[in-house]
Chains A and B, each alone.
Chain A
């Protein structure tokens, strides 16, 4: 065991990580799944969706941004936290217009998969049905549907840090906050390419590629038979 090893506890289980890791990173290695939406392997932690909220020594923290420390007691799989996460996922559903039944992302969508994993059959909050969210279909290969955007900033970070382009950024604030593109208005006027990581990392159906539809039929998609997080739980020794 190197001197960089840090030992701490998640739900009573002893976990070892290395200095500099976040709680989420260490938990992933240990095969403990902490639900998440904005966090994505290889992208800088963002901490906006709050779905990974855990309790660290009794205090609420986001697991994707909180570094591990020797001896901390982390609560993850408690009814209190599960309820908070259901509420957050609920909020994301009612905030936008998410029509799973005709969304190309259905079955591969992390928001949908997380709702199923958390046992949400229907949101308990009233739908907002926003009417001011548009679709940008100007690009020849990619379109953005703001109705389905959950403002996780994966595209912002991937474009900036992986593609080296800065195609996306947020504009507005509060409930009017939106993803915008690096041109006066249209996606086609940016240097986005269909092969960009920024396109691939969208957890929902907000950024989708054109010319492909249902090449994998519903029923055979990523989360149709295995719940989200199962890949992480497979790491468990």
Chain B
């Protein structure tokens, strides 16, 4: 065991007061310093924070960004989501393979560069995208790949790789990212000009209960997708017994096809912070946490700076804005690559330094959340709406949108359209209008709400986007008539299998079985009874899974069976009720390899 490892691990742990609940930060730093969290490192961490060693391994083995194996100093992650696959993922992967001489999952011989894939990194409107350590590259071409590899070979550090900078704050020196905002439509809630501090001033002039009343009057509902009334959530949290309370911002946007929170974090973090402070005042919390997905680490310095500026202007700190006795501050908790952490109780587990397993409910986070204290978890966009409601009035807000769905919604639009990007639209807008705005007329299908949502076809394009009809966290993926929709479904199932935490049986096992049967059908080996099998199994997974991930993971199959049934029916052979699915040669493969000859009875 090297002395260096020992002293660095010790320093890192001490930096977080040897606090077990900061395990995420500890293992992330060890990973950054040594390219992995080795067995030796895990032993040292366990000793230092006085926790069983297996607890450390439990965390390290859960998150995609953490590894026991040593990675190169440079880790290249190719964004492998369905949109990137449509826009050249395979091509650029091939160029990387050739230029580096390694395949995905491998490290170059000199140990310097590791090549990996990552599920959606939130850049679908500028696919294909690649992460090189924390640096993002978008609309990557074969030439860009060659250039990246050449520079890395020359010893250029990832943060110094040549690239153009994006628009807006993407060019801010603290961000300096080659990312585009692609804001295509601004409306009056999120993208209206900033008026820092007004909302908070108005809030602290009222009582906390009056603030909650305003949020209820505005009929604000959660923007993450579930649509729970925000005022009610705050009321429960405020009313719950607890020495301390917490406000958590869910900035883990991991739903493939969603990237609107990235744009808010780039262009309107002040609004988000103001909304969080108001939430703290309303529920009686003194601490807030922004849970930021690991993929958005490049935004962290800018967000830390924005928090510092808020402290300097007393929007954070003690006696906030002169309000005697109201103290509030915010820290950033980095995620490490786990979609399930977007589920609020899994997110809380992760903040507590644990595996990102969802928790049993009840108790709900409003009663017992972060470290057992009453906690309100809200989406980035929700907090922004809160600040505007306090500034402009609940009446103003409730006039926007439709009756059951007030305000505006940010849509993340990607896929087969001429103008992919972020659109702020009032709730109640029709899908046809959205497609026209985005230049996606002639779409064969739209995936509404990401893989966990539903796939709809032209028959449903007259429907409206709102909580009572097409409910969505904002992701719309557009598929043109030439796309193979079953390939899309297959990708979504792969995604859920990869991202399941594995806690409960139906999600851990059922999704694998669903994908197997789907593939059997796609290979042309389907039987008529397979469709009923998929429906029955899909409904079992949906009904018995423990959290939102499992309860929605069968949706890609169930919603396409409902809306695109002819695609399946064309593949199953009605006239041949028995399809051979057993491949004798494949089954004999291992035995043939050992024997060194082929079978006498089953000639190839």
Contacts and interface: CB of A to CB of B under 8 A. Distances in A.
A180 interface: yes
Nearest to B60: A171
Nearest to B359: A47
Interface string A35-52: 000000000011111110
A173 B54 CA distance: 14
B62 interface: yes
Contacts of A183: 53-54
A84 B540 contact: yes
13 contacts: A46-B360, A47-B360, A88-B540, A94-B509, A95-B509, A150-B505, A151-B502, A169-B55, A171-B54, A173-B501, A175-B508, A184-B43, A184-B53
Interface string A54-84: 0000001010011100000000000000001
Interface stretch (B146-154, B308-316, B411-419, B543-551): B543-551
B541 to A, nearest CB: 9
B503 A48 contact: yes
Contact of A176 (B54, B502, B544, B546): B502
Contact of B506 (A45, A50, A67, A166): A50
A91 B513 contact: yes
A48 B498 CA distance: 18
Given A67-B362, A87-B537, A88-B505, A50 B55 contact: no
Interface string B490-505: 0000000111111111
Q: Which 8 residue pairs across A and B have the least CB separation, nearest first? A: A177-B502, A91-B509, A166-B52, A171-B61, A182-B54, A169-B54, A174-B500, A50-B544
A53 B61 contact: no
A99 interface: no
B84 interface: no
A62 B546 contact: yes
Interface residues of A, number: 41
A203 B14 CA distance: 41
B52 A126 contact: no
Contact of B545 (A50, A151, A172, A173): A50
B360 A88 contact: no
A207 B540 CA distance: 29
Contacts of B361: 65
Contacts of A169: 52, 54-55, 57-58
Contacts of A116: none
A60 B360 contact: no
Contact of B516 (A126, A168, A180): A126
B505 A50 contact: yes
A231 B329 CA distance: 55
Identify which of A47, A87, A95 gathers the most chain B CB atoms within 10 Å of its CB: A87
A166 B55 contact: yes
B355 interface: yes
A181 interface: yes
A128 interface: yes
Given A169-B57, A175-B509, 13 more contacts: A48-B546, A60-B543, A60-B544, A87-B537, A88-B540, A95-B505, A166-B52, A169-B58, A171-B61, A174-B499, A174-B500, A180-B58, A184-B53
Interface in A87-130: 87-88, 91-92, 94-95, 125-126, 128
A154 to B, nearest CB: 14
B513 A125 contact: yes
Contacts of B506: 50, 87-88, 91
Contacts of A180: 54, 57-58
A174 B501 contact: yes
A176 B498 CA distance: 9
Given A50-B546, A53-B544, A184-B39, A175 B54 contact: no
B64 to A, nearest CB: 9
Contacts of A181: 54
Contacts of B526: none
Given A91-B509, A173-B502, A182 B53 contact: yes
Contacts of A47: 360, 504, 546
A136 B582 CA distance: 33
Given A50-B546, A174-B500, A166 B54 contact: yes
Contacts of A48: 503-505, 546
B231 interface: no
Interface in A157-203: 166, 168-177, 180-184
Interface in B509-546: 509-510, 512-513, 516, 536-537, 540, 543-546
Contacts of B355: 170, 173
A84 B360 contact: no
